[in-house]
Amino acid sequence: MEKAVWKLSPQLWNADLESSAIFLTFAHQIILTHMSYPICFVSLGPGDPELITLKGLKKLRQADIIYCPATISKSGQLLSRAARIIEGLEIEKSVVQFFTLPMSKDRTKVWKVYDTLYEKAISARDKEKKVVIVAEGDAGFYSSIQYIYDKFKENRIEVERTAGIPAFIAAGALAGLHIVKQEEQIIVIPGMLTAEELSKKIKTGNVIVIMKLSQCVEAVHTCIRLHPETNFHYFENVGTGEEFYTSDRKQIQRKIFPYFSLMIIQ
């Protein structure tokens, strides 16, 4: 049986350097497209390492690089709740790289950080690294990380996202609440609202979840006084060793809500 023999055409041998360079660049892009891994966004859940999904944990264990959000305190200390979750999962510290987010309402500063992260993630992926970007709670629920996810999609970069448990779902479990039942409706809102706006929502009879509760302390305190028939469930640091829950109205009135706090109103 005659063996097949590969022969290069004279035209290919005689191609000039510029054509060869174009060919090699194109071939390299094809190879990267087929060999590179999708960039994965892993949702860590509210704080308890045991509340991460099995799929999310698998992605973390397989990662070559994990990009992890952090902030810098006024004293210059690096703070990262996400990193504490990862540490609790016994993930190798050497694969974790931090990106620091400014605590500022000027979102352009945050977008600049994400633009830099985007370039780093692309570079790592092109080197055939398994890249993971983590977010607390669920990466698609009140998460600014969606900005960079959308940027990958717009530029046709393959991405994946694992689901996570939002803090208010974990809060419901902590308090043993039936958050919504039968034909009830639920409204989830950020904390940027007035007492009048919140009062109107309470009067609809819908279940209300307020995230970022620290932004509406006075509005909540006022509505507790205005609506004695309503149940206010207050939570802070859900899923951590410092988690706290109360539905005692007087106790809530004395609270100055921290950053990681939320409320379920029924």
Q: What is the pLDDT along the chain (266 residues), one digit of tens a residue?
A: 445 554 555 555 455 555 555 555 555 555 544 457 999 999 999 999 999 999 999 999 999 999 999 999 888 899 999 999 999 999 999 999 999 998 777 788 999 999 999 999 999 999 999 999 999 999 999 999 999 999 999 999 999 999 999 999 999 999 999 999 999 999 999 999 999 999 999 999 999 999 999 999 999 999 999 999 999 999 999 999 999 999 999 999 999 999 999 999 99
DSSP H helices in the chain: 10-13, 17-35, 54-62, 81-88, 107-126, 146-154, 167-175, 195-203, 217-226, 249-253
Q: Residue with structure tokens 């919504």?
A: 180
Rounded to two decimals, the pTM is: 0.82
In the prediction, which pLDDT does 105 show?
Answer: 74
In the prediction, which pLDDT does 107 show?
Answer: 83
In the prediction, which pLDDT does 60 show?
Answer: 98
In the prediction, which pLDDT does 13 show?
Answer: 47
> How many percent of the chain have pLDDT more than 90?
81
In the prediction, which pLDDT does 74 show?
Answer: 86
The crossing angle, in degrees rounded to 10, of helices 107-126 and 146-154 is 50
Kindly report, residue by residue over 85-132, the tens digit of the pLDDT.
999 999 999 999 999 998 777 788 999 999 999 999 999 999 999 999
Domains present along the chain, CATH in parentheses: 34-165 (3.40.1010.10), 168-265 (3.30.950.10)
What's the full length of the chain, in residues?
Answer: 266
3-state secondary structure of 257: coil
**Distance, CA of 91 to CA of 6 (rounded, Å):** 48
- Which H/E stretch holds residue 265? strand 261-265
